């Protein structure tokens, strides 16, 4: 990687980055690869001015930065260049430094596309309308009959609805209550909210049932089985949890960071170790 030094750094930027498990995944992997890189969490509150953050990411000891809530849209805007996926989604979760420029990627979309496969969805219900929901929407690649979108912030729902319509998808924005009522008929339920991080949290869609043939995609990963995943399993539904997403997102990062191909198998080992500690 150009300009990388012996103490090169990878960052995770987000309002609650220090609570994330990504450093626990990446640092053991980097150590096994014999790399001097370190992966560090950097808490950046939603209201913080981002000029200093961008400036820090251009320093010579920085390799790249993962970006999580609520800064994925900021990352898309601050990137000097970006992939088609970033430009289409308006969200970026990986900024790679190239000299004095930042190149944006969206490995959330890559991971979601792998995990969703080519399965046609008659009705996708998106709970949340941030960067993760955008990734799921684009990963569907029009392989969907209808999409219902909700968020606690109606403006966020409206923005994602416009994106869906621009993509030629039959979509509607609904209230949170309406979304809970629709959960039982959806063939895909995506939890792109933080609901489930707390061990006492209920299913993201409330207490209602889910269809037995549904796919429940929960972006949340935690040291416990989330209520959304537990409820889906009880119904016999197919499940993708946050650990699955974390794995595929990391696999997608390996070539973008120029890491050794052995990193793919080491990632699985590191993820297993991380899960066993939580």
* DSSP letter string, 100-123: TEEEEE-HHHHHHHHHHTT--BS-
Nearest to 65 by CA among 125, 29, 23: 23
Top mean-pLDDT range of 19-23, 163-167, 258-262, 272-276:
163-167
How are strands ordered across the β-sheet holding 147-150? 171-173, 147-150, 124-127, 188-191, 215-218, 238-240
Arithmetic mean of pLDDT, 141-153: 94
pTM beyond 0.85: the answer is yes
Q: 193 or 268, which is more confident?
A: 193
Nearest to 152 by CA among 172, 170, 126: 126
* DSSP letter string, 128-179: --SHHHHHHHHHHTT-BS-EEEE-SSHHHHHHHHHHHHHTT--EEE--HHHH
Q: What is the pLDDT of residues 189-246, one digit of tens each?
A: 999 999 999 999 999 999 999 998 999 999 998 889 999 999 999 999 999 999 999 9
**Cβ count near 80 (within 10 Å):** 13
72 flagged as catalytic: yes
Percentage above 90 pLDDT, the chain: 79
Q: What is the pLDDT of residues 108-138, one digit of tens each?
A: 999 999 999 989 999 999 999 988 999 999 9
State residue 215's pLDDT score.
97
Per-state percent for the chain, helix, strand, coil, to nearest 5: 40, 20, 40
Distance CA 221, CA 239 (A): 13
pLDDT-based confidence at residue 7 (cuts at 50, 70, 90)? low
Contacts of 167 (CB under 8 A, 6+ apart): 137, 138, 142
Catalytic residue chosen out of the listed positions 72, 197, 231, 275 = 72
């Amino acid at each position: 990687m150009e300009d990388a030094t012996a103490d090169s750094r990878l960052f995770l930027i987000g309002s609650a980055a220090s609570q994330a498990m990504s450093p626990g995944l990446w640092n053991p992997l980097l150590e096994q690869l014999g790399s001097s890189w370190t992966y560090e969490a950097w808490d950046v509150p939603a209201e913080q001015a981002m000029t200093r953050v961008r400036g820090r990411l251009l320093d010579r000891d920085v390799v790249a930065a993962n970006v999580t809530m609520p800064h994925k849209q900021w990352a898309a805007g601050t990137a000097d260049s970006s992939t088609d996926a970033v430009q289409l989604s308006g969200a970026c979760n990986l900024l790679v430094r190239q000299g004095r420029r930042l190149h944006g990627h969206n490995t959330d979309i890559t991971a979601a596309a792998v995990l969703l496969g080519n399965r046609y969805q008659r009705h996708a219900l998106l709970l949340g309308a941030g960067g993760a929901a955008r990734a799921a929407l684009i990963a569907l690649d029009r392989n969907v009959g209808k999409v219902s979108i909700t968020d606690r912030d109606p403006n966020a729902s409206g923005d994602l609805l416009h994106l869906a319509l621009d993509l030629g998808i039959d979509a509607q924005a609904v209230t949170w209550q309406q979304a809970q009522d629709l959960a039982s008929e959806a063939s895909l339920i995506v939890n792109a909210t933080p609901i489930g991080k707390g061990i006492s949290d209920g299913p993201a869609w409330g207490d209602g049932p889910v269809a037995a043939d549904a796919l429940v995609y929960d972006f949340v990963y935690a040291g416990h089985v989330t209520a959304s995943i537990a409820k889906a399993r009880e119904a016999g539904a197919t499940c993708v949890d946050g650990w699955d997403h974390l794995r595929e997102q990391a696999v997608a990062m390996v070539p973008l960071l120029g890491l050794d191909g052995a990193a793919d198998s080491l990632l699985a080992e590191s993820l297993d170790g991380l899960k066993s500690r939580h």
